[in-house]
Amino acid sequence: MKYLKLFENFDSSEIDDICREYGIRNYTINADGSIDVDGDVKLKYTNLTKLPLKFNRVSGNFICSSNKLVSLIGCPNYVGGDFVCSYNELTSLIECPKEVGGYFDCAGNQLTNLDGCPKEVADSFDCRDNKLTSLIGCPREVGGEFFDCSHNQLTSLIGCPNYVGGDFYCYNNQLVNLIGCPDEINGMLNCKSNKITSLEGAPNRIQGDNYYDDNPIDSIVSIFGYNAKICLEYQETYNFIRKDCKIVKYLLEEALKDYNEYYKKQVELPEKIEGYTYIWNT
């Protein structure tokens, strides 16, 4: 890359040249060599290994996706619209914007954690297709249509936002329970293709559907009409699922009896439940 000088050492004519090359308009040059942009910055598919300028404030969208970035040094402190750094070679979000007014997308990188993320994101948050082993550091609240941490290496949801304004996707990970899951999800909960054996930690409120396909727990949810909310209610009342994939058989029998009477069903206790072992006492 030809811009090898430190950002603060660029003179105004050099900054003008760089802005012209990347189609950046309506900008103001600050005393520290950074720029404020009234509008969007679009650096997608420009083969960048680092950002060409130091940005301070961008009122619109800041898009630097589909490059070869290994660092976010030079990123704006504030982005009024969407911030998209997906499909680069990032291993860290340190230096990313402190405030994002729209959508935050860091999908398709090499991230193992979310240190450096903004504390709040007004719109959706997408961190799928990374190598995340922890969600600690992610925003405490996410608005918008979804929070997506699917296709990672997560064994825990600890660190998740407390509130998600839309759907919550955590499928294709290594989760065994839902401890750390948001308290409130105003959309669907998609936990497919994990190793979930317990609904411990499930949200207090889910507006949409729940999906547990391709998890051991799905064998139990299916007994209760594939309704995870009902299954969780009976688990909380009868506590038939115990540690290490053990099920207290007589407690599940009592739960099913109650379920059949209340919902006018005729569900029979399975002889065996795949992934679990019956025990006879507590």
- Which phi and psi angles does 78 have, rounded to 5°? -130, 130
**Which pLDDT belongs to residue 282?**
67
| Residue 144 counted as domain residue | no
**Which pLDDT belongs to residue 10?**
84
What range does the domain containing 263 cover? 227-282
Under-70 pLDDT residues of the chain: 1-8, 282
**Which pLDDT belongs to residue 66?**
98
**Which pLDDT belongs to residue 261?**
97
**Which pLDDT belongs to residue 229?**
87
**Total domains present in the chain:** 1
pLDDT tens, residue by residue, 75-105: 999 999 999 999 999 999 999 999 999 999 9
| Residue 154 counted as domain residue | no
CA 263 to chain centre: 36
Exposure letters 238-274 (e unless 16+ CB within 10 A, then b): bebbeeeeeebbebbeebbeebeeeeeeeeeeeeebe
| Residue 253 counted as domain residue | yes
| Residue 250 counted as domain residue | yes
**Which pLDDT belongs to residue 61?**
98
Q: β-strands 246-248, 241-242: how paired?
A: antiparallel
| Residue 26 counted as domain residue | no
| Residue 263 counted as domain residue | yes
**Which pLDDT belongs to residue 27?**
98
| Residue 235 counted as domain residue | yes
| Residue 265 counted as domain residue | yes
Q: How much is the pTM?
A: 0.92
